């Protein structure tokens, strides 16, 4: 694929208000995966750790993977968002 095709489609001035939908969507994109990651860890703690069952260890690792991966990308996203807000 050509590099030019990897560019993002630019919004027209009149389309700018549609970005609002994405802003309303952003908290869900950030919070829900963190919630799911914590849920996996909680499930491991409740059903695995407290009952000394190693069967749930996978859920712990999965929870950590989901949390770390999301936080890793959430930080630059929030930074870029705050930069854009300040820039206006």
Partner 1 sequence: MLRTNVNRGKRVNQIDSSKKKVNHVEFDAHWYRRIFHTFGASFLVYYLLPDLERINFFKFWIPILLVSFALFLECSRVKGKIDSGHFFGLRMYEKKRFGSYLYFGVGVLILLLFFPQQIAVPCILCACIVDPIMGELRNIVGKKQVYIIGFLICMFLFLITWHKANIWIMFLVSIVGAAAAVLSEVNKLWWLDDDFTIQIVPAVLLLIIWIIISYFGFAPPEPIIYSW
Where on the chain is the footprint of partner 1 (CB under 8 A)?
1, 4-9, 11-12, 14-23, 26, 28-30, 32-33, 35-37, 39-40, 43, 47, 55-56, 58-59, 61-62, 65-66, 69-70, 72-74, 76-77, 80-81, 84-85, 87-88
Largest Cα separation within the chain, whole Å, is 59
Helices 19-43 and 57-87, packing angle to 10 deg:
150
| CB 61, min distance to partner 1, A | 5
Cβ(44)–Cβ(74) below 8 Å? no
Q: Chain-centre distance of CA 66, in angstroms?
A: 9
| CB 73, min distance to partner 1, A | 5
């Amino acid at each position: 694929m050509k590099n030019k095709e990897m560019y993002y489609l630019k919004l027209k001035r009149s389309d700018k208000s549609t970005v609002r939908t994405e802003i309303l969507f952003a908290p869900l994109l950030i919070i829900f995966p963190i919630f799911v990651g914590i849920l996996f860890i909680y499930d491991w703690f409740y059903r695995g750790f407290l009952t000394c069952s190693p069967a749930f260890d996978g859920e712990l690792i999965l929870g950590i993977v989901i949390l770390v991966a999301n936080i890793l990308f959430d930080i630059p996203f929030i930074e870029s968002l705050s930069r854009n807000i300040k820039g206006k």
